[in-house]
């Protein structure tokens, strides 16, 4: 045990959390690695380049259909403020960035913690959850990941055009029963201003003395605040996870101006992560991550 990358039981330094440790140790270096979860919040000024500037309008939104249109992202390219959220959404909608569900679509009690277990792709989405077979990929994204549905609990059935005094009815093909037809639900697409933080999962490598010698980002997740009717944040929700390695090429063409120690420099968003120009607060235990998964 412990040779050639096999799992190795080690005693962790006292300042390390003992849950979810990847103890991969080589005999010569005695290094081990550990999963580490952190939170990059918008209220830390040093993190602002990931969140700002906001867009007044929703990038890619077709005002006629009220749906995101992959083509419009290219047409609006020069007018969009390309913060991290809009880069993610653009490439998810265009199909060249994989979205991973934060929970098992079939059993929502099974949570994912950034291990990228539940990919939602154009090829696979139709077999997940309870979506009907005539849903499009964008329908799937809208209903579960990129928007929130507003259902009026006091909505009345639509009236029949043939018999105006009666409710419109539709026959359920599965059981043959008639159902009343209600107004279509409205959806609100999440925007960059809704994102309050990003959760990240990294693999940290430690030497035999417990010193961190390397940090590798594996996955990143946008987080929104769950609000009550008065707009007060009552909790958090992880929208989805993204493979950071797959995201990285899309961050090389977006540049930001940062000021460090009274010196300005222009770097790409990828360099912002690679050079660790952000501030992240460590999540102490599983409960801290679970809090934002529901």
> Does residue 81 form part of some domain?
yes
Tens digits of residue pLDDT in 31-47: 788 999 999 999 999 99
The answer to whether residue 293 is domain-embedded is: no
In a domain, 18, yes or no: no
Contact 292, 234 (CB under 8 A): no
Q: What is the rounded average pLDDT for all residues in the chain? A: 81
Q: Which residue has the tokens 């580490």?
A: 36
Domain containing 96 equals 38-152+189-195+222-279
Mean pLDDT of 71-98: 95
**Regarding beta strands 147-150 and 119-120, do their DSSP bridges make them parallel or antiparallel, or are they unpaired?**
unpaired
Domain presence at residue 88: yes
In a domain, 229, yes or no: yes
Q: State the total domains in the chain.
A: 1
* Range of weakest confidence among 56-60, 79-83, 194-198, 261-265: 261-265
* 273 found inside a domain: yes
Examine residue 292 and state whether it is found in any structural domain, yes or no: no
Please compute the mean of the pLDDT values over residues 125-137 and round it to a whole number.
Answer: 52
Contacts of 116 (CB under 8 A, 6+ apart): 100, 219, 241, 243
Average pLDDT of 137-163? 76
Q: How many CB atoms lie within 10 A of CB 6?
A: 11
């Amino acid at each position: 045990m412990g040779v050639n990358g096999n799992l190795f039981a080690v005693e962790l330094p006292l300042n390390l959390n003992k849950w979810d440790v990847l103890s991969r140790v080589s005999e010569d270096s005695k290094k081990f690695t550990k999963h580490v979860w952190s939170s990059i919040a918008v209220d830390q000024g040093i993190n602002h380049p990931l969140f700002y500037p906001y867009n007044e309008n929703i990038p890619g939104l077709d005002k006629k259909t009220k749906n995101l249109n992959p083509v419009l992202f290219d047409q609006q390219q020069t007018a969009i403020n390309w913060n991290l959220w809009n880069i993610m959404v653009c490439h998810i909608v265009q199909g060249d960035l994989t979205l991973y569900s934060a929970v098992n679509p079939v059993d929502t009690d099974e949570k994912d913690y950034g291990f990228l277990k539940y990919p939602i792709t154009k090829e696979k989405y139709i077999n997940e959850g309870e979506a009907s077979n005539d849903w499009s990929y964008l329908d799937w994204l809208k209903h579960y990941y990129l928007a929130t549905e507003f259902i009026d609990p006091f909505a009345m059935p639509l009236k029949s055009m043939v018999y105006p005094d009666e409710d419109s009815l539709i026959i359920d093909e599965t059981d043959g029963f008639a159902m009343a037809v209600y107004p279509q639900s409205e959806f609100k697409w999440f925007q960059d201003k809704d994102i309050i933080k990003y959760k990240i999962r990294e693999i940290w490598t430690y030497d035999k003395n417990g010193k961190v010698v390397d940090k590798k980002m594996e996955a990143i997740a946008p987080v929104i605040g769950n609000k009550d009717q008065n707009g007060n944040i009552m909790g958090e929700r992880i929208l989805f996870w993204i493979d950071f390695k797959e995201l990285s090429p899309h961050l090389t063409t977006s540049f930001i101006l940062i000021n460090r120690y009274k010196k300005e420099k222009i770097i790409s968003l990828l360099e912002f992560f690679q050079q660790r120009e952000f501030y992240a607060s460590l999540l102490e235990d599983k409960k801290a991550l679970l809090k934002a998964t529901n």
